[in-house]
Amino acid sequence: MDNILTQQEAMLRSGQISEVDYTLKLKLEKGSQEYEGETTVRFVYTGGKKGKLKVDFVSKKIEILWLNGKEETNYEKKDSALFLSGELLAEGKNELKVKYKNAFDHSGSGFHKFTDPSDKAEYMHTDFEPFEAHRLFPSFDQPDLKATYELEITGPSEWTYIHNTVPKSEESQGNYKNIKFHKTKKFSTYLFSLIVGPYAVWEDKAGEIPLRIFCRKSLSKYMDAENLFAITKEAFGFLQEYFGVPYPYGKYDQIFVPEFNMGAMENVGAVTFSESYIFRGPRIYSEYLNRANTVYHEMVHMWFGNLVTMKWWNDLWLNESFADYLSYYSMSKGKIFPDALEHFYVREEWAYREDQLSTTHPIAGKAENTLEAISNFDGISYSKGASVLRQLMYYVGEEKFRDAMRLYFKRHAEKNTVLNDFLSCMSETSGIDIRGWSKEWLETTGVNTLSPVRQNGRLFLHQGPSATNGLLRTHALQSTLLREKNGILEEVWKKRVLVKGKETLLEENYTGEADLLLLNTEDFAYAKTYLSKESLPILKRSLHTLKDRFSRRVVWGSLWQMVRDAELSPKEFLELALDQGLKEPDLSVRNSHILTKALTVIDNYIPEAEKRTWSDKLNSIAKEKSLLAQNPEQEQILWFRILENTSKSTEQLSYLKELLDQKKSIPGISMDQERRWVILSRLSAYGDPESSKRIEEEITKDNTDLGAKKAFLAGVSFPNPKTKKESWERFLKPKEGDSTDFLRYGMRGFQWNHQKDLLVSYTDSYFNSVISVYDTRDPHFASAFGHLMFPSFEPDPNLLKRTQEFLDQNKKLPELLKKDLQQQRDDMQRTLKVLEKYKN
């Protein structure tokens, strides 16, 4: 796979190339799998006529190439680039023009094309991060060669054409129209966007900024544009004032596109979103909040990432850490989701998990090439970086943190930055030399663990080093002491604490017994926190009496870290979850910290022989609770999900079937299309003899692409050797028209823990084929295959040994595969450690 750009190549090229601009002409046809293009690249060259200049470009056919007005044939074309001899280039201004034909992509990235089966409408969208713009047009596809773009497009007149700017002219030509867009401002190639198709549209304004929302016509009935506009306007209202820079790009479009690989992408003035954010049925509060957070996140990128862009992908955190934290912070200042920072605490679990894997890396990381850059879109660059920024804000103060952002944008607008540019701005405004802080936090790996200790009349906090490097760090945090009085937990004190070294004294003459010391209340620090073992009896009696919801989150979050670290028995956690957890009044806390975690514990951290007992207990509770007619809708959604997830016995599955056939019902729960597919997949996975016929019938009711994908998932789930073999072969050799997204749905249905006997033979198949998958398929497909098809039916020392041997024997694995397998190995080791410690 040569479709890679190295950091060394990019540095060399940015030393030779400057003042880039692109003029693009594209022609699109209905029903075609290819398109015509003509791109003119103007640039200044100062390479001294030595060597070759690499121009990134994937194309089906180059029809003609001109250099400085003359047709040129003396160029070298490879799969993902063309090379021009330095001798052909002029010192100074050059103009390269290429006329070409190209094929659409079906991987979700590049220039992706999708046909909606429900109405045969065609939709196209670009997705170029980190290194895909050259799939559409010849370019210097690296973040520090910012350019302007002038787009002209000809295509069917019934299609809508959305770009980074608005049209300056539009002419009809029979069944076609020709649109010329205004020239863009200067930005990196990966932020270029073109979205095409017969989209439904909604319009509004945020002050003077025109807003539009688009989605494909067949999903328009589900679009709650009013809600999304309210969130968008609130975000603009806060961010423009906070950053001290008006929104720089004129208009703001948000487009929900089919088969998108990620949550969203921050293209300048034309943000693309996954259609998973179009809700086809009622959702719980945290899902609405997460969608709003994605809206905020992408808007923060208009400043962090778009206006000021990292020089190379090693500083990806300058985009993602800031967008991740400031989106939650901004939401917390608004009226729609003021509790956003509590949900940020939930998200941090992603960072804690990844920072304890052998694949962790510093926040300010390295990316030797664009493939390695893809692997850095992870919990470190997003969630850990965000958490560390929250710590920095608490450390220097909110106003000084904000002033540093303002200085950063003023100084570096439309430019590219590195770590030191940010540190300089923060040091100037805070009056603190932040470089030492950076070395401690941004340039190291690992997470510290903070524990309360009572000893000899003293109450203090113990800091454990991060596991791989033994580092102790400085933490600014808040601690709260609670005391049980008459069965109720009441606050004794709340302190701001600066933690340094192994021990930090909290109270000298400490006499409390029935106390609960909570570390890191309100979550200002990036650190795992434990609870003292002495406080567990208090929690078992009185946790539900703790008034502050965020503090209850911190309790459950600490308990979860203790389970994962084999410091708390999984059974003790389950007992607490099925008692105190059911008394938790807030549904969001109950979902994310208690019930979801209980399911994870049952699936991973208790012996196989006991799993069914605990699953049955939870199923019984969910069934009983769901029949309470007075429950609010959100609670009913929650109980239904638990009920479905724990249905395994013949009796439990029969109840689901009766719900599906509407012979029985749950108050407030309608058997909408989403729920019908969920139940059908489970019935199929447990070998229901009617499932194949039911899937066929269901797809006639749901003739959408999502219906086809969910039918594929349900069919692949069936425990039949022939079904499994055929689907495995299809993943490796797809049928014509199989998109990455379609195949990903099938992979989600392949493995079920109870099908171990049927699936065990695929362990060899996995290890025999996985290198080829990563070498030849697009990264999104490869990573899905690597994770979803890994034979993780249950933790197994033999599988752990096999995985390690595979890593040892294949020293030159593709970097993405190496990372994915190391993470699988690390997760197995952790699970086996918990199981071993608590097997009795």
Q: Which residues are catalytic?
A: 298
- Report whether the peptide linkage leading into residue 632 is cis, meaning its omega lies within 30 degrees of zero: no
Q: List the end-to-end C-alpha distance of the chain, in Å, as a whole number.
A: 50
In the three-class reduction of DSSP (H, G, I as helix; E, B as strand; rest coil), residue 80 is classed as: coil
| Pairwise CA distance, residues 211 & 128, whole Å | 23
Strands lying side by side in the sheet with 75-77: 52-56, 81-85, 75-77
Q: Which residues have CB under 8 Å from 507's CB, separation 6+? A: 458, 459, 481
For 245-267, b/e burial (b = at least 16 CB within 10 A) is bebbbbbbbbbbbbbbbeebbbb
Strands lying side by side in the sheet with 475-485: 488-499, 475-485, 515-519
Maximum Cα–Cα distance across the chain: 90
Q: Mind spelling out the 3-state secondary structure of 719-781?
A: CCHHHHHHHHHHHHCCCCCCCHHHHHHHHHHHCCHHHHHHHCCHHHHHHHHHHHHHHHCCHHH
Phi-psi region of 69 (alpha: psi -120 to 50; beta: other; left: phi over 0): left
User: Are the CB atoms for 81 and 96 separated by under 8 Å?
Assistant: no
| Pairwise CA distance, residues 823 & 815, whole Å | 12
> Hey, how many other C-beta atoms are within 10 angstroms of the C-beta on 702?
18
| Pairwise CA distance, residues 804 & 792, whole Å | 14
| Pairwise CA distance, residues 447 & 352, whole Å | 7
| Pairwise CA distance, residues 297 & 275, whole Å | 17
Nearest to 193 by CA among 392, 384, 26, 313: 26
| Pairwise CA distance, residues 581 & 589, whole Å | 9
User: Are the CB atoms for 245 and 286 separated by under 8 Å?
Assistant: no
| Pairwise CA distance, residues 659 & 665, whole Å | 6
Nearest to 137 by CA among 53, 33, 58: 58
Distances (CA, A) of 316 to 155, 216, 404: 36, 31, 19
User: Are the CB atoms for 79 and 58 separated by under 8 Å?
Assistant: yes
For 361-395, b/e burial (b = at least 16 CB within 10 A) is bbbbbebebbbbbbbbebbbbbbbbbbbbbbbbbb
